[in-house]
Amino acid sequence: MKTKKYYETIKIKQESYYFECALDHFNERIRVDYYLGNVAMLIERVEALAKEYKFTKLIIKVRNEHLYSFLQSGYMIESALKGYFQGSDGFFVTKYTSQDRRNSLYWAAGDDIVEAVLKSDRKNEKIIPDEYRIRRAEKSDSKKLANLYGQVFQIYPTPLNEPKYVEKTMDEGTIYWIYEKESNIVSAASAEIDFGQRNAELTNCATLEEHRKHGLMKELMKKLEQDLIEQSIYCSYTIARSLSYGMNAAFHQLGYKYTGRMTNNCYIFDKLEDMNVWVKDLSEVVS
């Protein structure tokens, strides 16, 4: 059986520009993670690639000094990322090639959740029962991690239900922290680190439904943050489902700031979902 192609990373170098991007076939989008050189020529090439692969969404991580150049080319800001580029601010700018992809069916519901989260109490501490054990994951946990992700997500932007893929992410520097109960992994989260730009995305958050009332995810996030601080990574951000009150509330309680929403960003469960962006400057964390 042929493995489903989710995405591929490519690097394009020309005389006037250079960029690194992900061709995200599963989510029908192109995402430029790093670029240098002539912005106008870069945009032209990126849009040609999107057209070639029939992608309906373009995402470019843009430096502050280039922001107006992208806005003048029809891109829009969907979120801001304080300190993303080695301490300098960045932005996720986007463009759509499909009206259906541009229009969200759940935007108002997402607004209601953000409003409720921002009004909620940040000091909502819970006591973790003694039978739960927290630790950093190892490669030997890949099968159990894949099983957890397969149970929690029927559809997910990356193939985390495959042990080999989990191992691959670990080889590339992704850190996982887990909670176990009776030797079974019941909750997990990870930090994908960009050492070049000194930032990290907290992602792959999953807890089995019957264990969600204990606040496990917040404690996993605290462990990941400490790992990042120890490696001098201070820009920490996450992209959370806009319709998940619990996940958005967890990051709000941890001191993350809401900075925007990515429309119809990726497939989770049975549909394209809007994703909220939350950012934290870990250099401001007081030990």
CATH of the domain at 265: 3.40.630.30
Q: Are residues 35 and 114 in the same domain?
A: no
| Closest residue by Cα to residue 178 from 138, 143, 234, 121 | 138
pLDDT band at 156 (very low <50, low <70, confident <90, very high): confident
Q: Are strands 29-37 and 88-96 parallel, antiparallel or unpaired?
A: unpaired
Report if residue 152 sits inside a domain: yes
Are 77 and 111 part of one and the same domain? no
Do 80 and 129 lie in a common domain? no
Residue 132 in any domain: the answer is yes
pLDDT exceeds 60 at position 209: yes
Whether the per-residue pLDDT at 287 is higher than 70: the answer is: no
Q: What are 218-258's pLDDT values in tens digits?
A: 999 999 999 999 999 999 999 999 999 988 999 999 999 99
Q: Does residue 112 sit in the same domain as residue 98?
A: no
Comparing 83 with 3, which gets the higher pLDDT?
83
Confidence band (pLDDT; 50, 70, 90) for 269? confident
Whether 265 and 188 map to the same domain: the answer is yes
Average predicted confidence (pLDDT) for the chain: 94
Q: What is the extent of the structural domain holding 216?
A: 107-284
Q: Are residues 188 and 212 in the same domain?
A: yes
* pLDDT for the residue numbered 121: 84
Q: Is the same domain home to 37 and 174?
A: no
Q: What is residue 256's predicted lDDT score, i.e. its pLDDT?
A: 97
Q: Which amino acid is at 156?
A: Y
Residues 181 and 222 in one domain: yes
Identify whether residues 114 and 98 lie together within a single domain: no
* Banded model confidence at residue 159, pLDDT cuts 50, 70, 90: confident
Nearest C-alpha neighbor of 42 from the set 24, 55, 30: 30
What's residue 3's pLDDT? 40
Same domain, 82 and 55: yes
Instruction: Determine the pLDDT at residue 176.
Output: 98
Q: What is the predicted pLDDT for the residue at 286?
A: 59
Q: Are residues 194 and 93 part of one domain?
A: no
pLDDT at 236: 98
Clarify whether residues 210 and 238 are in a common domain. yes
Domain end (from 102, 125, 155) = 102
Last residue within a domain, chosen from 102, 134, 149: 102
- Provide the token pair at 175: 């850190």
Domains in the chain, number: 2
